[in-house]
Structure 1
Amino acid sequence: MLVLLPPSETKATGGSGAPLDLDALSHRELNPVRDKLVTALVDLAADVPASLAALGLSERQAGEVGRNAELRASATTPALRRYTGVLYDALDVPSLTKAERDRAFARIGVVSALFGLVGAGDAIPAYRLSGGSALPATGPLGALWRPALTPVLAEADEFVVDLRSGPYASLAKAPAAVVVRVVSDDGSGRRRAVSHFNKAHKGLLARALVRSRTEPSTVAGLVKVAASAGLTLEETGAKTLDLVITGNPADKPAA
C-alpha cells in the first residue's frame, strides 16, 4: 500500500542529517526536476523581495527565504518528521509504537512542490515552496512536474490511497489511486465538502492505515481498516470514497 500525503507549509527546523543528497532520495528519475527547482529557489533567495512575491509571503516571513538560500547546505531530517501542521499533528508520528512508525515509513509517500514524490524516510531540508507557486525561472510547477511525476505515480504497483490536497493533486495524476475526500453529514442526508478540518481527518485516516497490522489491498479492506479506527468511508465511485464526518467536523474520533 502507498498512502499519498500532501506536504505542509509549516516545517520543523533543524535536523541531524547530512545536507541534501538528491541521489539518496527515492525515485531518482525525478532528480533533474528536483535539481532545477532547488537551483531556482537558491538563486531566487538572493533577491528577498522577489522571493517574497514569487512565494506569496509577507515581509514577516522573510526567514523562509533564508531557508531556501541554504537548501544545499542545511541539515536534513526524514520527510515524515520535517512536515508539521494539522494533518501531521493528527497523524502524530511521535506517539506511534516502533512497529507503527516502521509501517508509516514503509507505507507513506509525500508529494511536494520541491521534490515530487519522496518516501516518508527520505532526508530533506526545511524549505518554502507551495504547489500553486510559479517561480520566475521555471514557471508554473504543474507544467514542470506533470511530465516527470505522472509516470512515477502511474507505475506504482501497490494499492494507492490518495489523500493529497488540490494543489498537490494537480501536480500530477495518480491514475490507479483511490481518492478520498472529506465530507460532513448534517444528519439529514445533506453533505458538503469539509475545508477547514479536512486535513485533520485525513491525518486520522493516515494514522489508522499505519497503525493497522493489516495492509489493505482493496477498497473493501480500506473501508474495514477505517471502520476499526472509528472512521466512516463510503464508496462514491469506482476509485472515489467519502470520509464522512457526522455532526461537527471539528470533533475527532479517538485515535
Structure 2
Amino acid sequence: MLILLPPSETKISGGEGRLTLASLGFPGLASGRSAAISAVRELVAAGQDESTPAKQRAAQANASLESSPVMPAIERYTGVLYDGLSFGTLDDLGRTWVGDHVAIGSALFGLLRASDSIPDYKVSHGTRVPGTTFARIWKSVPPLTAAALADDSLVIDMRSKAYAAQLPVEGAVSFDVVDERGKALSHWNKHAKGAFVRMLAEARAEPGDIESLLRAARGAGADVSMRDGELLLLDRR
C-alpha cells in the first residue's frame, strides 16, 4: 500500500547537505523534475515579487533552491495535515512504516517518498513561471499507474484535486473525510487525513487490497467505508 499526501505551502527551514535529484524516489519523474527546476531558475531570473517580507523569504528560498540544505520531505512540510500525523512523535517502527508507505505530491518534484531529502522551496501547482506551467510540465512525463507505484497496486490518494490532476495515478483510490450526513468536511479535512495515516502507522497496517485496508482501519477504530469507488472517513466533530 502507498498513501499519497498533498504537500504544504508552509515548510520548515534548515537541514544539511544539498539536493541530489538522482537520490529521489520514483526515478521515472526525473525529466519532469529537471524541467520544473529549470522553470524555477527562469522564475528567479525574471525577478520575483518581493513586496512583503513573506514574499522576500519565498524569493530567497527559490533563488537558493539548488544550494540550500535538505531534509526528509515528511519533516520539511508543516501545517494542519502534518500536525495530525505528527511524524516526529511516532516510535521508530511507526516512522519506518511512514517511510515505506507514504509519498507526497509536489509541484516541483511530482511525487516524493516521505524519506526523500528536499530543500525549502516556495512554488505550488498554481505558481506562474515564464513560458510554461507546472501542469504542462507534468503532463509531459509518462503516465503513472497504481501498479507501478505499489507492489500490490493499492494506492490511496489523499492529495487535493489540483495536485491529483497535476500528476494523475491511474487506479488509485481517492480518499475524503465526511460528516455524518456524508458531506465532505473542510476545516477538519486535513487534520483528519494526517491522524488517519498516523493511526495506520501505529497499527503497522499492511493491507494488500481495499477490503483488508477497511478491516485494518476499522480494527484501529476508524469509521471508514467505500462509496462510488471512493474511500470515506467519517469524522463526527
Whether TM-score is above 0.5 comes out as yes
> In structure 2, what residue type is equivalent to 1:30?
L
Q: Which residue of 1 is the match for residue 185 of structure 2?
A: 194
Show structure 1 runs of 5+ residues with no match: 249-255
Q: How many residues align?
A: 234
Secondary structure of the 2:167 match is coil
Counterpart Cα distance in 1 of 2:122 and 2:145:
23
> In structure 2, what residue type is equivalent to 1:8?
S
Equivalent of 1:244 in 210, 223, 234: 234
Q: Which residue of 2 is the match for residue 30 of structure 1?
A: 29
Secondary structure of the 1:134 match is coil
Q: Which residue of 1 is the match for residue 177 of structure 2?
A: 182
Q: Which residue of 2 is the match for residue 79 of structure 1?
A: 73
Q: Please report how far the alpha carbon of residue 225 of structure 1 lies from its aligned counterpart in structure 2 after TM superposition.
A: 2.4
Q: Which residue of 1 is the match for residue 10 of structure 2?
A: 10
Q: Which residue of 2 is the match for residue 253 of structure 1?
A: none
When normalised by structure 1's length, the TM-score is 0.85
Give the 3 Å change call, closer, same or farther, for CA 214–151 of structure 1 in structure 2.
closer
Show structure 2 runs of 5+ residues with no match: none
Runs of 4+ in 1 over 3 A off after TM superposition: none
Give the 3 Å change call, closer, same or farther, for CA 219–23 of structure 1 in structure 2.
same
The CA RMSD measured in Å over matched residues stands at 1.8
- Given that residues 18 and 119 in structure 2 are in contact (C-alpha distance below 8 angstroms), is that contact kept between their aligned partners in structure 1? yes
Q: Which residue of 2 is the match for residue 165 of structure 1?
A: 160
Q: Which residue of 1 is the match for residue 132 of structure 2?
A: 138
Secondary structure of the 1:109 match is strand
Counterpart Cα distance in 2 of 1:44 and 1:214:
42
When normalised by structure 2's length, the TM-score is 0.91
* Percent sequence identity over aligned pairs: 36
Give the 3 Å change call, closer, same or farther, for CA 71–149 of structure 1 in structure 2.
farther
- Cα deviation per residue 1:109-151 (whole Å; 9 max; x = unaligned)? 1111000111111110000111223322322x22221341633
Counterpart Cα distance in 1 of 2:61 and 2:110:
19
Identify the structure with bigger relative contact order (alpha carbons < 8 Å, sequence gap 6+): 2
Q: In the alignment, does 2:81 pair up with 1:96?
A: no
Counterpart Cα distance in 2 of 1:114 and 1:58:
23
- Given that residues 26 and 119 in structure 1 are in contact (C-alpha distance below 8 angstroms), is that contact kept between their aligned partners in structure 2? yes
> In structure 1, what residue type is equivalent to 2:35?
K
> In structure 1, what residue type is equivalent to 2:87?
V
Q: Please report how far the alpha carbon of residue 154 of structure 1 lies from its aligned counterpart in structure 2 after TM superposition.
A: 5.7
Counterpart Cα distance in 1 of 2:221 and 2:141:
38
Secondary structure of the 2:225 match is strand
Q: Please report how far the alpha carbon of residue 47 of structure 1 lies from its aligned counterpart in structure 2 after TM superposition.
A: 4.3
